[in-house]
């Protein structure tokens, strides 16, 4: 099964090709250009005929609202034109899957994505006994949420975070400030997400869980600014 995967949750993002559950190619995006300027050319650069792809996969969020819309629309269009199913994958879960690669069963992983405005998109997981990239690999301890880093740590205070591995650009950005306040954070190395998205989508498709292209929905977590603006205008 061949899966083409795309991540546009961050400015750079990435693209990947997965074949029979094996990562064949993964490339970082050009962060100096917008996703609208780069796509679908970065997918074309993988050198694969789109008609040979069995499933088109995308990181469905959370992340940049504009990036999510462009990435999902691109994958939906390719899947629709080629009459293939699509799969949307949580970027937080993809981060945690990658961070779990060298961890033991029972270890915990904090996935933090930079949400701008001094906040992070976050989720907390425990590593299960299942193989890498399967849904059973991760047990969700704290559901996806958005808040300031310190507020997130406070909300997670019932968990012992001393041996937790923190992953994602949110952890990289705000970790030093937390450590300056006395916290000790174990950091996962930076990683591209598209490969993990493709591997997770491959498992999903093998179980018959890939969907029609129009069924892929963004995982925003935080309500879009336009929606909040409309609500304020209505209230006035």
- Quick: pLDDT tens for 131-140: 999 999 999 9
pLDDT given at position 116: 92
Please, are residues 106 and 127 in contact by the beta-carbon 8 Å criterion? yes
pLDDT given at position 48: 95
Do 108 and 175 belong together in one domain?
A: yes
Residue ranges with strand state E in 130-213: 138-147, 165-167, 186-187
Do 84 and 106 belong together in one domain?
A: no
Mean of pLDDT values over 208-230: 82
DSSP state of 211: B
Range of the structural domain that residue 61 is part of:
2-90+192-232
Residue 196 backbone zone (phi > 0: left; psi -120 to 50: alpha; other: beta): alpha
Do 177 and 64 belong together in one domain?
A: no
pLDDT band at 30 (very low <50, low <70, confident <90, very high): very high
DSSP state of 11: S
Do 166 and 222 belong together in one domain?
A: no
Do 21 and 105 belong together in one domain?
A: no
Do 173 and 206 belong together in one domain?
A: no
Rounded distance between C-alpha atoms, residue 22 and residue 33, angstroms: 29
Please, are residues 149 and 129 in contact by the beta-carbon 8 Å criterion? no
Rounded distance between C-alpha atoms, residue 120 and residue 112, angstroms: 6
Mean of pLDDT values over 174-180: 84
Domains contained in the chain, number: 2
- CATH number for the domain that contains residue 96: 3.30.420.40
- 233, pLDDT greater than 80: no
User: Burial, 203: exposed, middle or buried (Cβ in 10 Å; 0-12, 13-18, 19+)?
Assistant: buried
Mean of pLDDT values over 199-212: 97
Do 127 and 48 belong together in one domain?
A: no
Please, are residues 119 and 109 in contact by the beta-carbon 8 Å criterion? no
234, β-bridge pairs: none
- Quick: pLDDT tens for 70-106: 999 999 999 999 999 999 999 999 999 999 999 999 9
pLDDT given at position 148: 96
Do 113 and 81 belong together in one domain?
A: no
In this predicted structure, which of 51-60, 204-213, 216-225 has the lowest mean pLDDT? Answer: 216-225
pLDDT given at position 225: 57
The pTM of this model reads: 0.93
pLDDT band at 222 (very low <50, low <70, confident <90, very high): confident
Do 86 and 108 belong together in one domain?
A: no
- What is the rounded average pLDDT for all residues in the chain? 93
DSSP state of 137: G
């Amino acid at each position: 099964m061949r899966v083409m995967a795309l991540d546009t949750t961050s400015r750079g993002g990435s693209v990947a090709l997965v074949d029979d559950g094996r990562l064949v190619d993964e490339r970082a995006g050009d962060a100096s250009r917008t996703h609208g300027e780069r796509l679908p050319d970065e997918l074309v650069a993988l050198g694969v005929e789109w008609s040979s792809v069995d499933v088109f996969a995308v990181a469905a969020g959370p992340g940049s609202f504009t990036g999510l819309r462009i990435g999902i629309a691109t994958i939906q269009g390719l899947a629709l034109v080629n009459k293939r199913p699509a799969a949307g994958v949580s970027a937080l879960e993809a981060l945690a899957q990658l961070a779990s690669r060298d961890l033991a069963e029972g270890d915990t992983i904090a996935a933090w994505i930079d949400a701008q405005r001094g906040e992070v998109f976050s989720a907390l997981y425990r590593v299960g006994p299942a193989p890498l990239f399967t849904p059973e690999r991760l047990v969700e301890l704290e559901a996806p949420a958005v808040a300031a880093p310190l507020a997130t740590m406070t909300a997670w205070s019932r968990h012992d975070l001393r041996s937790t591995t923190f992953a994602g650009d949110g952890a990289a950005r705000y970790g030093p400030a937390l450590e300056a306040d006395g916290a000790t954070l174990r950091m996962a190395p930076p990683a591209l997400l598209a490969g993990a998205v493709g591997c997770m989508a491959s498992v999903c498709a093998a179980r018959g869980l890939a969907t029609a292209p129009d069924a892929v929905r963004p995982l925003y977590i935080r309500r879009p600014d336009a929606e909040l603006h409309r609500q304020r205008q209505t209230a006035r």
